[in-house]
Structures are given as C-alpha cells and as structure tokens.
Chains A and B, each alone.
Chain A
Amino acid sequence: MLPFLTQMRLEDATHEYAELTKKLLKGIENLSSLREEDIEIGVTPKEVVYKEDKVVLYRFQPAVEKPLGIPVLIVYALVNRPFMVDLQENRSLVANLLKLGLDVYLIDWGYPTRADRWLTLDDYINGYINNCVDAIRQKHELDKINLLGICQGGTFSLCYSSLYPEKVKNLIVMVAPVDFYMPKALLNMRGGCSLGSEALDIDLMVEALGNIPGDFLNLEFLMLKPRQLGIQKYLDFPEIAGSEDKVLNFLRMEKWIFDSPDQAGEAYRQFLKEFYQQNKLIKGEIEIGEGKVNLNNLKMPILNLYAEKDHLVPPESSLALEKYVGTDDYTVHSFPVGHIGMYVSGKVQRDLPPTIVDWLTARSE
C-alpha cells in the first residue's frame, strides 16, 4: 500500500541523498560561471527626481508615448527594497504598468543606519511621503496624484490619504494590513496583537537594539513556516541547479527576500505598538505628528487588492478596510496566491497590472 515507507531502508534513503548531492554538485558547476551582475534586479530604466536624507524618489521611463495624465506613486514596506516591484524583466509590476500606459514613480527608503534611529512615522508619512507627493504634483502641475501602497506601504498610504485627502486622486492598496487583531495569524500573534508586551516588549527591544536589525525580521518571517521556508526550498534546489535560468530566478528571489534594511527604532516602536499591539488604526486613534488618522476621511475611490493565501497579511485583515472608509467607490479584487506570489507569480503578473490600469483609467477624469 505504501511502497516507499514500507520498503525503504536507510541505505535507500542514503542513496537518494547521494543522487541529490550529485545533482547539487553539477549545479554548483553551473553556479561557478555566474557573477553578481547576472542576478541584477531592478532593471527597468529610471531617473532620480527627488532626494531627501537616504530617501530617493524615482521616476520610471514611460513606455508609451502618452501615458495616463495622472501619475501613480508606489509606496512599499520599510522592510523591503524597491526592486520588489521590479524583480526581473518578465516579473516586474513596474514594467507591466509602464507597458499598459502608466507614469510610475517609486519611493526608495534606503538603508537606515544608527543615525536614523530616531526617525518616526511622522517623518516617514508627513515628511518623506508628503514631500515626494509634492514633488510629483509640482512636476506635473497637478493637485492630486494616484497612490499605490504595498503591504506596510499600503497602511502608510491609508494614513497619508486620511491626512492629505486633497492630494490623493485614487488610492490603491495591495496586501495591506488594516485590522491587526488576527488571533489565528502567526505574524500578528507573535507581534503581540493579543498579548501586547507579554509577547514582545517593543520598548525594551528598541532600548536594547536601537534600530531593529533586518536579519531579525527575516528570521521572524522564516519562523512563520520554519521548515518550508528555512529548509524545504533549499532541498528542492538540487532539482533546479542544472538550469541556469532557474538558478538565476532562485538567486533573484533570495536576494530580494533577504535584502532587508534595518528598521529605524522609533518608527518600528510606533508601528508595532500602536498598529499591531493596540490595533489603533481601525479605532481612529493613530496620531501621525499632529494629525489624527481617521479612515472615514478616505472619500476618494479605493481599490483594495489582496492575496487569498497570504500568510503574512491575512485576507481578513485587508478586507476589514471596507467597514471604515468613507467612500462609495470601493472595489475589492483578490488573487489566488500568497503574499510573495503577488509580486512574482506569472499569472498574477498577467492579471494584476491590467486590473490596476483599467481601474485607474476609469477614474482618470
């Protein structure tokens, strides 16, 4: 009934491993011909249009003669690097949006150092995001632009749009956490959504570490599925090691996933305490600088995109947004993938960009 488990002996298992090792060594031969430039990511042509401290605002080179009149600014999570939306030629959200006629801007947060330990969410939202939005508005002589916020960047975009509704024409949020009390979601539980400082004392952590190391966050993400993310995928590596294309794809993903900047201590403190542990966003209690974030201020059209199998941001967390916004023009669209799949899945890259562009085009007047 079960030939493998009833017949297999230790010698058989060892033999299987020996075979895998042979494949792996063959793959290493393949790897030996690779150089850093081969795994170059973020390849879509772009120019710097604004700089402030370590933050850089990029404008991607439009791919059509007359792009949509209102540009879109992409705001991603502080834990990622900008190439998350521009991984490689056939897996680039940015390149696909450009091809479909959008004028795309992107904020690069840079790598915070100890000198940035005191940066707060006020600096990120009222400072960097607002200044980037103003730079784009000025360049295009527009009152309002479109905003696309991804993951934590989506949460930031919600805060920003609530504080500056007069500057946001249309708001798109993608895999963005909104309701943080998720007792069945591991990331939220480990962040202390139910236990607060008993699960993780953020004040103590920031006092001890200053900035929160990117490696700590990577470890936290891996610990959500320790075997599958920490071991399983590497055991699969020998199977793909013989194919240069597959190895390159694998390396790009590795570079993207593990290239995580440290988190500015104060900003991390506020995000974990007030969003994760106290769930203040949906309670209307978040204060950014002198302004209070009220999601009911969001009267602009909103497109909420989420991943059905997301283990980092549960769908319910994103879907909660509908209950709190003040707009009648609210659209939800889901994709049958996990969090990472939203950026790299071939099927999503075929369907997601047109969904965004069609939605924006219909609201471009």
Chain B
Amino acid sequence: MDKEKTHWSDVATELVNTWSETGTKMWQSWFELVGSIPSGQPLSDSKAELNKFTERVAENQDVYVRFLKLSVDAWKDIFPQVASGGNWQQTLNQYAEQMRDQLASFSEGSLNANKDIAELWQLYIREMQKFSQLWFDPLGLSLGTMGKAVTGNPSASIELNNLYWNLLYEESFGSLMKSPVLGPTREFNGKLVSGFDAWTELYKASINYQLVLADIQVRSFEVLMKELVSLAEQGEKVEDWRQFQLLWSQVSDGVFEEAFCREDNLKIRGKFLNALNTYRIQQQELMELSLKTMNVPLRSEVDEIHKSIYELRKEVKQLKKALAKSESREQPEP
C-alpha cells in the first residue's frame, strides 16, 4: 500500500505542479502556430515553430496521461466499493487527504526556505537585476509563479503563511527596512527598500493565491470521483477518454467558478493582483531613477506629454464645434 501510495502521490504532485502551466502552454502553442500564418510563410516552411508546437502538444499529452492515470488508479480502488455498497467515500477521502498532505509539506518547505531574511533580500536583488525585463511584462510573473501551484487545504496554510510574514518579517526586519535611510544614495536606497517591501507582499500574496488554485485542483478531483460514482449508480457509462476529459473539464470549471464566487477567495486573488500592481509601480519608480541618469525620456514625462496633447486635442475639437455652430448661425437664409 505504501508503494502504491507513493506512486500515485508522485503522479499527483507532478500533475498539480503543472496544472496551471498546462493551459498557458496550450495557448502559447496555439499562438505560435497561428502567429506563424500572418507572416505569409506556409507552415511547412516554419519548421522550428512547428517542432516546438509538436513538442508542446506532446508535453501536454503527458500531463493529461498522468491525470488520467491518477483518476483511473483512484477509480479502480473506489469502484469495487461502489459496486459492493462499501465505504468508497473513505477511500476517496484518503486520496484527497494525501494530496492535501503534499500541500502542507509545500507550505512548510516554502516557509523554511524563506525564513532567512538575508536570503529573501538576495532573491529580491536578483529579481531587481532583471527588473527591466519584468517592467515590460509584469503579468508574465503571475503566470510563472502560478505554474508552481501545489495541492492542499489552503485555509490553514494561508493562515500559517500570513502568520510567518507578520511575526518573522513585519515585526523584525520589516520595520527595520522601513526606517528612513541616510546619505547621498538616500533616494535610490529608499525606493529599493520600498520595492523590497512591495516584493515581499507580492511573494506572500502569490503563495496564498497558489494555495487557493491548488485547493481547487484537489476539490476538482474529489468532485470528479463523486460524479463518476453518481453516473455509475445511474448505470451510465463513460465510454472513452474524450467523454472523461469533457466531464473533467466541466467538473473542474464548476469548482473553479464556485471557488471564485466566494468572497474569501476573491480577496486572496485581489491581494495578489493588487500586490502585483504595487510592485510594478515600485519597479517603474526605480526604472525612472536609473533612466534619469542616462538622460532619456521617462515614462512619466511621456505620459505627461500625452495628457497635454489629449487635453489640447479636446479643446480644439470643442473650438471647431463652436466655430461651426457660429458660422452656421451667421449664414444668411436662402
């Protein structure tokens, strides 16, 4: 049993870790495929893109096969109990419980890994070294981190995560980081430290959001199994993998919808998005400071120019309208 447990447990881990990546990969594959058409080149000429696309399709198939295997393994344990009127719910609970255990270990691992503030600061600095890239694509960050989603019961882990940040960061290093800085590099350092603050908020919010996504995946699995039991009890057959896939999609999206109509989950998602935007603003401020030294036009300056042009354009339109009105009034009656 232990061996089996480890086996499907591994499958579950891999599956859930790739859960949010899968969709993104599918879109990317598709965009690349479609994107090669406007070039006017026939697809057969775009061999590199085509190979990439095919590879990605294969990768995605792999993920699906793993999910199928997990589901089929679980079902093989559950189905005999359904048929004999046994306690299938207990078996399902055991499966789900183990998936949740993995979440707990992820959460713990993640916290342990980041307990060292110095390590956090290093991570941040590493991020900052490539901030110019992130400045152009901050939303990519969300997709990237979402891809690391794991399984588990989120509420306890989220609480733990928040507790860690409040106790270990906010009340110690956090308050120190917020104290005013001195010296000629005061402005830059100040922004760098504010950026660190925004980054830690984003880091925390991102983990909480991932936990919610992962929980949705575990619950989708549970609901899918229950749906299969319900169909079996009605004597309805799931004939092939496509039908199974369709059922899974419907179940999964239903769980997702229900989860995000709940205000507690919406708040977690909101904190993540808001933290992402706050971090982006901090990045832009740092970017502006560094660009200033190079004597190039800054985004805020270009925005200001755009605003002036917009206001002038509006004024000209109003003046033209007023002029046309007054001219038509002055026209003599025919």
A-B complex is real? yes
Q: List residues of chain A with CB under 8 Å of any chain B CB.
A: 1-6, 8-10, 13-14, 16-17, 20-21, 24-25, 28-29, 31-36, 39, 53, 114-119, 123, 127, 183-186, 189-190, 192, 194-195, 197-201, 204-205, 207-210, 213, 215-216, 219, 222-228, 230-232, 234-235, 251, 254-255, 258
Count, chain B residues at interface, CB 8 A? 79
Dominant secondary structure at the B interface:
helix
A residues less than 8 Å from B110 (CB atoms): none
A residues less than 8 Å from B58 (CB atoms): 21
A5 touches B37 (CB 8 A): no
1/0 per residue, CB under 8 A from A, across B303-315: the answer is: 1001101110110
Identify the closest chain A residue to B261 (Cβ). Answer: A189
Asked if A228 meets B139 with Cβ closer than 8 Å, knowing A117-B303, A186-B257, the reply is no
Q: List residues of chain B with CB under 8 Å of any chain A CB.
A: 22-23, 26-27, 29-31, 33-34, 37-38, 40, 42-44, 50, 53-54, 57-58, 60-61, 64-65, 68-69, 71-72, 75-76, 79, 83, 138-139, 228, 231-232, 235, 237-246, 248-250, 252-253, 256-257, 260-261, 263, 266-267, 269-270, 273-274, 277-278, 280-281, 284, 302-303, 306-307, 309-311, 313-314, 317
Identify the closest chain A residue to B238 (Cβ). Answer: A4
Task: Specify which of B50, B232, B235, B253 is in contact with A227 (CB 8 Å cutoff).
Answer: B253
CA distance A90 to B61 in the complex (A): 35
A207 touches B26 (CB 8 A): no
A5 touches B277 (CB 8 A): no
B64 touches A17 (CB 8 A): yes
Dominant secondary structure at the A interface:
helix
Asked if A36 meets B266 with Cβ closer than 8 Å, knowing A4-B240, A5-B79, A208-B281, the reply is no
Asked if A28 meets B69 with Cβ closer than 8 Å, knowing A4-B239, A195-B263, A228-B253, the reply is no
Listed A/B pairs (16) with beta-carbon separation below 8 Å: A2-B232, A5-B79, A8-B68, A36-B38, A39-B37, A117-B306, A117-B310, A189-B261, A195-B266, A197-B274, A199-B266, A201-B273, A205-B273, A208-B138, A226-B23, A232-B249
B65 touches A195 (CB 8 A): no
B residues less than 8 Å from A117 (CB atoms): 303, 306-307, 310
Asked if A232 meets B245 with Cβ closer than 8 Å, knowing A2-B238, A117-B306, A199-B267, the reply is yes
Shortest distance between the CB of B301 and any CB in chain A (Å): 12
CA distance A271 to B72 in the complex (A): 47
